[in-house]
Amino acid sequence: MTEQQIKTLLNLDESTQPPRVSASGDWVLANYRLLEPAVKQLQARIHSGVVFDLGRLGILDTAGAALLVKLLGEQRIFNLQQIAPSLPAERRVLLETVGHALHDFHQPAEEKAPGLVTELLATVGQSMANFWQNLVELLGFIGLTLNTLVVSLWRPSRWRITSLVANLQQIGLNAVPIIMLLTFLVGAVIAFLGSTVLSTFGASIFTVHLVVFSFLREFAVLLTAILMAGRTASAFTAEIGLMKANEEIDAIQTLGLNSVELLVLPRVLALLLALPMLTFIGMISGIFGGLIVCALTLDISPTMFLTIMQSSGGFQHFLVGMSKAPVFAFLIAIIGCLEGFKVTGSAESVGSHTTASVVHSIFVVILLDAVAALFFMEMGW
């Protein structure tokens, strides 16, 4: 569009008295880029006595109406019937509507960036809210699982023996080698460090007590539970989460089957059986590692090692350690299955919830182990 064409659409005739502003042609979005500079230039030359001729307007849309509102000003736009009597009623209504919209529009104030303390408090608050939500979900899922377990106990036809045995093999039997190796090495390291420190006080014989006490009460069950949290809880979450993403759980529910009974109970029961057995194997392997180190570095024979172990109240420590195993197993399995049910339909969700199941399981295991250790020590057990 040329300058001459723009003057045809918008023209100020100062040769008449009073001066006359004429607007004609199509005031539409397509001409906005060219009309806007002309309107800005003409605004400075318009005074209160100017007369407007809007009777020759062609097509008018909201973009063109916004330019005309800027040209006329707020005082004139609401008095169009006197200023431009030749303007059709529908055009006048459009201009008045756009004028009201521009008049009532207020640029939203820019929000100030929160300070460091505010962000820190917000992060802490969000973390506490997420912790409370996860705790409520965990307690609710525990109740649902226990209810399903009690109901299915009285109906042997609904027991999933095949699934239980398959999970027991995967969880328990396949984990035996790594549990034995890990606990054996940790037992050997504890015995070696204990003998190194205690020998400076002439108390090397108490290395046996250190190995027996630490493994029967704490290390065997704790190492086994942490390993199961990383190995088994993640597997539960990935398996159930993939089923959730593929809508297999929806299909199970559509068939009228209970997804908790079908997917959760066999895994929970399998881990309840497997973790105490693995803990017992871990105790034996850890003590055996300590026995080997004591025999090689301290000249304590296996017979003397077992005699000292028997006289140090090892059976009581054994019961304390074994009592934690079912609790850890139940919580690890519940957390792993719960995170699997939280998965949405994306691979990223499977990965994030698998990570969350491992982190939450390890956190719960260590927290409960610390509480149990304080409780048993205060009770004198």
Burial, 334: exposed, middle or buried (Cβ in 10 Å; 0-12, 13-18, 19+)?
Answer: buried
DSSP state of 104: H
Same domain, yes or no: 87 and 147: no
Residue 137 lies in a domain: no
Say what the pLDDT of residue 225 is.
92
Pairing status of strand 51-60 against strand 20-27: parallel
Same domain, yes or no: 25 and 147: no
Last residue of a domain, one of 104, 132, 150: 104
Residue 128 lies in a domain: no
The β-bridge partners of 36 are none
Q: Could you identify the residue written with the tokens 């460090």?
A: 193
Say what the pLDDT of residue 4 is.
47
Say what the pLDDT of residue 86 is.
66
Say how far apart CA 249 and CA 97 lie, in whole Å.
54
Residue 272 lies in a domain: yes
Say how far apart CA 373 and CA 323 lie, in whole Å.
12
Same domain, yes or no: 222 and 352: yes
The whole domain housing 226 covers 142-379
Residue 10 lies in a domain: yes
Residue 112 lies in a domain: no
Same domain, yes or no: 92 and 159: no
Say what the pLDDT of residue 39 is.
73
Q: Are 54 and 91 in contact (CB under 8 A)?
A: yes
Q: Are 337 and 240 in contact (CB under 8 A)?
A: yes
DSSP string, 270-312: HHHHHHHHHHHHHHHHHHHHHHHHHHHHS---HHHHHHHHHHT
Same domain, yes or no: 148 and 284: yes
Last residue of a domain, one of 77, 104, 131: 104
Say what the pLDDT of residue 256 is.
79
First to last CA, the chain: 95
Same domain, yes or no: 75 and 163: no
Say what the pLDDT of residue 282 is.
92
Chunk the chain into consecutive blocks of 10 residues (it has 381) and report each block's average pLDDT, rounded to whole numbers.
Answer: 53 68 71 73 68 70 74 68 68 72 64 79 89 88 88 81 86 89 92 83 81 87 91 88 83 82 88 92 91 85 84 80 90 90 82 88 91 84 74
Same domain, yes or no: 95 and 156: no
Residue 149 lies in a domain: yes
Question: DSSP 3-state assignment of 49?
Answer: coil
Total structural domains in the chain? Answer: 2
CATH code of the domain covering residue 48: 3.30.750
Same domain, yes or no: 307 and 188: yes
Same domain, yes or no: 207 and 317: yes
Examine residue 18 and say whether the peptide bond preceding it is cis (omega within 30 degrees of 0): yes
Same domain, yes or no: 146 and 95: no
- pTM reported for the whole predicted model: 0.68
Same domain, yes or no: 57 and 164: no
Residue 111 lies in a domain: no
